Amino acid sequence: MVLEGNPEVGSPRTSDLQHPGNQGSCILSSPGEDAQPGEEPIKYGELIVLGCCEEGGEKTEAQRGEVTGPRALHQALSNRGQHSISYTLSRSHSVIVEYTHDSDTDMFQIGRSTENMIDFVVTDTSPGGGAAEGPSAQSTISRYACRILCDRRPPYTARIYAAGFDASSNIFLGERAAKWRTPDGLMDGLTTNGVLVMHPAGGFSEDSAPGVWREISVCGNVYTLRDSRSAQQRGKLVENESNVLQDGSLIDLCGATLLWRTPAGLLRAPTLKQLEAQRQEANAARPQCPVGLSTLAFPSPARGRTAPDKQQPWVYVRCGHVHGYHGWGCRRERGPQERECPLCRLVGPYVPLWLGQEAGLCLDPGPPSHAFAPCGHVCSEKTARYWAQTPLPHGTHAFHAACPFCGAWLTGEHGCVRLIFQGPLD
């Protein structure tokens, strides 16, 4: 057993965590070093779980897991006041790196465990949106998946590291986990299923483009992806990239993908009031069903996502023509949801339209002009095109674009469609 010191590498101090009303997000904040009673806390950023932002969705619950570790290390790691990382090289050889307190940073931990040291509990989301259910739905998210360290002084830089400390203030990397010595003689490693990060090119704005997925190590170094998610051979070190989170950075935990938004970035995002004003403006235009000639209207978010009402807009996702609900044009030989558009005769899914209500997922406050296919969530053109071009990790080595609001895999040539409304005849 080898004890190695690594002073001031990480901070075990955890500050306050505020949970807003939205079930799919949390706010990382600190009361501040010199804060007075009654002062507003410093907001470091916000995490949003992709695919969990539907109105009326059920909140998922994480299963409680037990903390286990090599018995030979129990005595050396029994001091809960001392944070450390254990690298198990073999049954008889382990390296322990001790961490010291750092008063200049706050640490937030993310994982599947519901224990107190986890600030943001996440569970697996299925490809079609929602939580994975059933006895066979074994979670692939680590109980202590990752940790984010935020500087307490401006500009409040946030850095991400793979793995989190357990109830004994330890991180265990077993024999199967990838681990190695760096050129400067220190230990580093990867978690079993890895923590992947993608920074958008051009920031999270109207001019954004998807970046390249990378893997983050336990010490915060950046590597290219492994051949498969749990392969023991690490990727290549990417020296010109860092683990600093940017506005719009995506964090994939092998079962759930999180979006990091900075306070400055959220100021550019549309507000809920703006989204509501856009809904009312769209309804004020009195769009009509081109066949039934009935007036269509997007329902209020307060109504929740139950069954579509009589005025609910529906769309043929292949062409974008918007109608009211009707029962004709079925092509069941092509599939249970396949319908033929009465205007252009294209055959494809026919689904209700729902306005996306998570403002943090939007790149700009543009009008709701496009819908994701095949789920029917509506947002601005630039928001729709960005997410339709962003591959999200799935399984051990696959990537697939998905709706950020419900998590449904996108289909069709572009993954989204421009909506074609018909105005009132009068």
Q: What confidence tens digit (pLDDT) does each residue in 11-22 have?
A: 433 333 333 334
pLDDT of residue 161: 97
Q: Residue 327's pLDDT is what?
A: 79
For position 124, what pLDDT does the model report?
80
Residue 179 covered by a domain: yes
Domain boundary among 267, 287, 320: 267
298 and 248 share a domain? no
Return the pLDDT at 14: 35
* pLDDT at residue 369 in the model: 95
pLDDT at residue 333 in the model = 62
The residue out of 267, 296, 320 marking a domain boundary is 267
Calpha distance 46→51 (Å, rounded): 16
Residue 16 forms part of a structural domain: no
Whether residue 12 lies inside any domain: the answer is no
The pLDDT of residue 36 is 57
> Which residue do the tokens 């049954």 mark?
91
Q: Which of 267, 295, 322 is the last residue of a domain?
A: 267
Cα–Cα distance list, 248 to 16, 19, 120, 205, 263 (Å) = 23, 20, 18, 9, 11
Give the pLDDT confidence score for residue 33 in this predicted structure.
52
Q: 23 in a domain, yes or no?
A: no
pLDDT at 66: 23
317 and 206 share one domain: no
Give every residue of the chain whose pLDDT is below 50, as ranges.
1-22, 55-78, 128-129, 133-136, 426
Which residues span the domain enclosing 220?
A: 43-51+62-69+80-128+138-267
pLDDT at res. 16: 32
Strands, sheet with 222-223, edge to edge from the N-terminal-most edge strand: 17-18, 25-30, 42-49, 257-261, 249-252, 195-198, 213-216, 222-223
